[in-house]
Chain A
Amino acid sequence: MDPTRKRRLRLVVALTAAVLLATALIYTSFSASTEASKPSEIKPGRSYELTGKVVNGSIRHVGGDLRFRVRDRDGTASVPVSYTGVVPDPFRDGREVIVSGELQKGTFVAERDSLVTKCPSKFTKDEQSS
């Protein structure tokens, strides 16, 4: 095989690999992603990644569960959440949280261990998930 053909062949192989990678990226990411939604946006019937702030004074321990309310970051719409699993260290009133789950009968039932709390310091971000 003369050098020019070799070079072109290599280019074709490289481009094909790049296209394959790009396709894999796009396809897998859009199908595996979860949508982030505010309490005012969620509806029953599908799973969401709920983001918002913990309503002050709403944290309760009921049996082995954690109950609290999450409200819109800039707003008052809030939804009650029922959660089991690891509670991250920075979790408390007023902190920004992300939790995955589904709205069932008015309460957002969270997936186990899916609670993520953001560190209050704007500089150092700290997230925990499992």
Chain B
Amino acid sequence: MEYALALLVLALVVAAVLSLPLRRRGEEERREETRLAELQAAKEAKYREIRDAELDREMGKMSRDDWRAVDRDLRAEAIEILRELDRLEGRAPEGGMER
């Protein structure tokens, strides 16, 4: 008896909670916002890579020539990300992101 009662009560509560979003419906968040967050993360990762390469060169793990090649590639990739970011945000340049 206790089991059946608890079952009923819990099921009703959960059903109420789960149907809430279904009733609200509206709220169409823009896809761009999530793509934006993903690009920001990718951009941060790329910046980190550029800095890491610089550190590696400083630590002597890469020769200047090797580093130049790597740095060139990384910066090109970063520019791609920045371009897509700009496209998504319309035309507004990002305000004061780094340092």
Direct A–B contact present (CB less than 8 angstroms): no
Binding site for B on A (CB under 8 A): none
